[in-house]
Amino acid sequence: MSLSFDFTLPRRDFLLELQGEFGDTTIGIYGPSGAGKTSFFSVLTGLEKPEKGRIVLGDRVLVDTEKGIFVPVHKRRIGVVFQEKLLFPHLTVKENILFGERYAPEKHIELDEVAELLGLPGLLDSMPSEISGGEQQRAAIGRALMTSPDMLLLDEPFNAVDNSLRATILPYLKNLRDRLDIPFLLISHDLPDIQRLTDQIYFMDQGRCAGFGRSIDFYGDRVTRDSGFVNCFRFTDPQDLGAGLYSAAVKDVPDLRMIVPKAPSDSYSLVLSPRAVALARQRIKGLSVRNQIPGYLKKMIRTETHVLCIIDAGVTIASQISVIAADEMKLKVGEPVCCLIKSMSFRA
């Protein structure tokens, strides 16, 4: 199932003007507050009508203003998980989840499986007001899934009601992404949150697309400058080294292992701030830093205070160093460098 769109919609302070083509993957929609992310979702779901344009999902034309096509909201088969969750207060969690089942033309998933995937079995008979914010979020996701949608939109799923929400929702989202083969579109104003799930990111700024691709390719751009960009590594095959450390293989990169402080499962991801990556000309002996990863300097982005270095070490690693350090080291693109990463710098 693929999604292509090209439409305009005038908003109060800007013109929403978006084009794009998304495949069958998880795509993060990133942009600062007021960039038009939620309006984008409203247009996709049909809650708002674009002034002109065309939206096609799979082989169905949802909107074509020239031909006068506008598929109404309830016939779009696009699952939405709203920021405010919006569980119906008069129905139990189970009734909420089953709400849209009867409208699905074909059934791809059963209640038991949804409940299992989202960790909901014990909550089915509760009322929405009796469960926590994270549980409501999961129930809302389950409710959207039971309609067997062709695409799932998640609006700020990490927007924390409680701080632990992120931790309680992320593993479930990963589960879903791996189990269902429908496109996931995920809005967030927090780049690391998106990076934890996907590296396909659609950057939005003032109602327009500011870039689409891997976050690292847009690293340092206006949109991502203050975004808290992180390196995100996917690990497999962790081996316990004792004393709380693990040696884990970097996914899809042969012969590259990193020493990390966490191994929650056989396949997982950890993030790393570019500031936690130091650079050296060569390997250094007698150092406490556990990870010394050789690579080539692929790209350098200078700002007033720091230099962003993109290093190709089989996997792409971003490092942020000071201008003074970069000048002193006389770093040049194409040269070999060694990334120094303390194992304790990796975060979930």
Partner 1 sequence: MDSATVLTTLFLSIRIALAATALNIPVALLLVYWTRHEFRGKNLLDGFINLPLVMPPVTTGYILLFILGKKGLFGSVLFELFGLRIAFTSAAAVIAAMVVSFPLIVRSIRISMDMVDPRFERAALTLGADRKAVFFRITLPLILPGVINGMVLGFARSLGEFGATVTFAGNIEGVSRTIPLSVYALLQVPGKEKEAGFLVLLSVIISFAAMFASSVLNQRFQKRRSNEPKF
Residues lying near partner 1 in the complex (CB under 8 A) are found at: 45, 47, 72-80, 82, 84, 86, 88-90, 99-100, 102-104, 125-127, 129-130, 143-144, 147
Residue type, 183: P
Write down the least CB distance from residue 152 to partner 1, Å: 11
C-beta of 81 vs 337, nearer to partner 1: 81
Beta strands in 179-314 (DSSP E): 184-188, 201-205, 208-213, 231-242, 245-250, 257-260, 267-272, 277-280, 291-302, 306-313
Question: What distance in Å separates the CA atoms of residue 161 and residue 137, rounded to the nearest whole number?
Answer: 10
C-beta of 151 vs 293, nearer to partner 1: 151
Question: What distance in Å separates the CA atoms of residue 224 and residue 188, rounded to the nearest whole number?
Answer: 13
C-beta of 89 vs 254, nearer to partner 1: 89
> Which pair of structure tokens corresponds to residue 30?
């990133």
C-beta of 84 vs 178, nearer to partner 1: 84
Write down the least CB distance from residue 235 to partner 1, Å: 36
Write down the least CB distance from residue 307 to partner 1, Å: 46
C-beta of 84 vs 116, nearer to partner 1: 84
Secondary structure (DSSP) of 153-171:
EEESTT--SSTTHHHHHHH
Write down the least CB distance from residue 217 to partner 1, Å: 33
Write down the least CB distance from residue 87 to partner 1, Å: 9
Secondary structure (DSSP) of 108-156:
---HHHHHHHTT-GGGTTS-GGGS-HHHHHHHHHHHHHTT--SEEEEES
Residue 50 backbone phi and psi in degrees, to 5 = -70, 150
C-beta of 151 vs 339, nearer to partner 1: 151
Question: How far is the first Cα of the chain from the last one, in angstroms, to the nearest whole number?
Answer: 31
Write down the least CB distance from residue 91 to partner 1, Å: 8
> Which pair of structure tokens corresponds to residue 244?
């709380």
